[in-house]
Amino acid sequence: MLGDVRPPRNLSELFSGFLAIGARSFGGVMPWAYRVMVEERRWISAADFTETVGLCQFLPGPNIGNTSVVLGKRWFGWRGSIVGFCGLVAVPFVWVLGLAAFYADYATIPLVRAIVIGVGAAGAGLFIGTALKLGRPLARNPGAWVVAMGCFLAVAVGRVSLLAVVPVAAAVAFFLAWRKWL
Amino acid sequence: MLFDLALYFGLLSLISVGGIPSVLPEMQRYVVDVRQWATAADFMQMFAIGQAAPGPNVLIAGLIGWKVAGLAGAFVALGAICGPAALVAYWVAGVWERMKDSPWRAVAQRAMAPMVVGLIFSGGFVLATPGNVPDWRLWLIAVASAVALLATRLNPIWLLAAGGLAGGFLL
C-alpha cells in the first residue's frame, strides 16, 4: 500500500493540486481535499489524510488551510507550506470577490436580500450540523459534555468574548484530560 | 485601519479553535457593533457569499477586508486571519511527529475535541440568531439545514440553495 503513494514531485505539482482542490470545492473543502489528495493524485493514504486533518482540526485556524501548511512543510519545507496554501485559496479568493462585486449591484433588491439571508441561515445550520457530527463520538463522555456545554453557555448565551473563553476552556479541558475525566 | 484589521484578525486567528465558525460571532461583534465597518445585514450577506463560493469559509475575512479597505484590505484580512494560526500549525506539525508516543499528545487530543464541538456549535447558533432575538424563520432554515447535513449525503451546496429558496419565500 505504501508503494502506491506518490507525493508531489515539485512545488508546481503541489500548487496545481491545491489549486484544483480550491477551485472545485463547492459546498465544502474537506471532501474535495480527500478526493484530490487521496483518490486522484494519490499523494497520501486515507489513513494519513485522516490523521493529518484530525490534527489540524483542533489547531486554531481553518482546517484544510492548516492541512495545506502541514503537508506542504512535510514535502517541501516552508516553501511548500506557502505554495500549498496559496494554491488552495487562489481561485476561491477571486471567486469570492467577483461574487461580491456582482452581488453588490443587486444587493438592494429585497427579494435578493431575503434569499441571501436564507443562504446565511442555512450556512449557520451547516455549522451546527458539523458540530454535531464531530460530537457524535464524544456523546457518551460526560467530561466532553461539560467542556462543550461550558463553551456554548459562555459564547452563545453569555456572549462572553472568545478571547476569554478559549484560554479558560483550554485550561479546564486540559486539566480534565490529564486527570482522565475527559 | 489596515493595521487595526491586521491586528484584530491576527488575534482572532490564534483563538480560532475549530476554524472560522468559532470566531465568526466575535468577528461580527467587532466589525458591526464595535467598529461599525459594516451593518449586520451586510455581514450576513458576506457570510452567505463566503459559504456559496468554493474554498474554505475563512474567505469571508477577505470580503470583510475588501469592504473595509478595498483590495489591500482583502489581502491583509485574509493573511491576518490565516497567518498566525498557520505558523502555529507549522510549528506543531514538527512537534507532533516527535511526540508520537508521548501521553501528552493524547491528552491534547482529548482536551481539544469537545472544545471544537462546543465552539463550532456556538458559532452556528449565534449566526442563526442575529441581533440576539430568535427569528423562527431563520431557525427553521438553520435546523432543517443541520438535519439535512446529518441525515443525507447531499452536497452542502444544495442545502445552501434550499436555504436561499426558503429565504425568498419566508423572509
- B118 domain residue, yes or no: no
- Interface probe for B, chosen from A162, A175, A178, A181 (most Cβ of B below 10 Å), is A162
Split into its structural domains, chain B has a count of 1
Say yes or no for a CB contact (<8 Å) between B146 and A118. Answer: no
Give me the percent of chain A exceeding a pLDDT of 70. 98
pLDDT at B4 over 80: yes
Residue B153: CB atoms within 10 Å = 6
Nearest Cα residue to B142 out of A117, A134, A38, A140: A117
- B40 domain residue, yes or no: yes
- B83 domain residue, yes or no: yes
Nearest Cα residue to A73 out of A62, A82, A64, A60: A82
Question: From the list A99, A114, A177, which residue is nearest B52 (CB)?
Answer: A99
pLDDT band at A2 (very low <50, low <70, confident <90, very high): low
Angle (CA) A89-A67-B153 rounded to 5° is 80
Say yes or no for a CB contact (<8 Å) between A121 and B138. Answer: yes
How many H helices and E strands in chain B? Answer: 7, 0
Nearest residue on chain B to A175, alpha-carbon basis: B111
Report the pLDDT value the prediction gives residue A125, as an integer from 0 to 100.
94
Nearest Cα residue to B115 out of A52, A178, A167, A181: A167
CA distance A97 to chain B (A): 7
pLDDT at A3 over 70: no
Chain A residues lying within 8 Å of B134, measured CB to CB = none
CA distance B1 to chain A (A): 20
Say yes or no for a CB contact (<8 Å) between A129 and B82. Answer: no
Size of chain A in residues: 182
Rounded CA-CA distance B120/B139 in Å is 16
Question: From the list A66, A100, A173, which residue is nearest B112 (CB)?
Answer: A173
Rounded CA-CA distance A126/B148 in Å is 9
Say yes or no for a CB contact (<8 Å) between B121 and A152. Answer: yes
- pLDDT tens by residue, B113-133: 999 999 999 999 988 887 667
Say yes or no for a CB contact (<8 Å) between B121 and A135. Answer: yes
Report the pLDDT value the prediction gives residue A159, as an integer from 0 to 100.
84
pLDDT band at A47 (very low <50, low <70, confident <90, very high): confident
Question: From the list A55, A126, A144, which residue is nearest B156 (CB)?
Answer: A126
Rounded CA-CA distance A62/B24 in Å is 12
pLDDT at A50 over 90: no
Report the pLDDT value the prediction gives residue A108, as an integer from 0 to 100.
84
- B12 domain residue, yes or no: yes
Q: Which domain holds residue B97?
A: 2-102
Whether the CB of B95 is below 8 Å from some CB of chain A: the reply is no
Nearest residue on chain B to A118, alpha-carbon basis: B167
In eight-state DSSP terms, residue A40 is I
| pTM (2 d.p.) | 0.88
Complex-level ipTM? 0.90
Question: From the list B22, B60, B111, which residue is nearest A162 (CB)?
Answer: B22
Whether the CB of B120 is below 8 Å from some CB of chain A: the reply is yes
Give the mean pLDDT of B20-37.
90
3-state class (DSSP) for residue A44: coil
3-state class (DSSP) for residue A60: strand
Q: CA A112 → CA A26, A107, A155, B165, distances in Å?
A: 21, 6, 31, 10
Give the mean pLDDT of B58-86.
94
Cβ neighbours of residue A106 under 8 Å, at least 6 residues apart? A112
Query: What residue spans define the domains of chain A?
Result: 1-95, 106-139, 141-182
Cβ neighbours of residue A136 under 8 Å, at least 6 residues apart? none
Q: CA A87 → CA A8, A20, A77, B15, B64, distances in Å?
A: 13, 8, 16, 24, 21
> Can you tell me which residue has the cell 469559509?
B57
pLDDT band at A106 (very low <50, low <70, confident <90, very high): confident
- pLDDT tens by residue, B79-121: 999 999 999 999 998 888 888 888 888 888 889 999 999 999 9
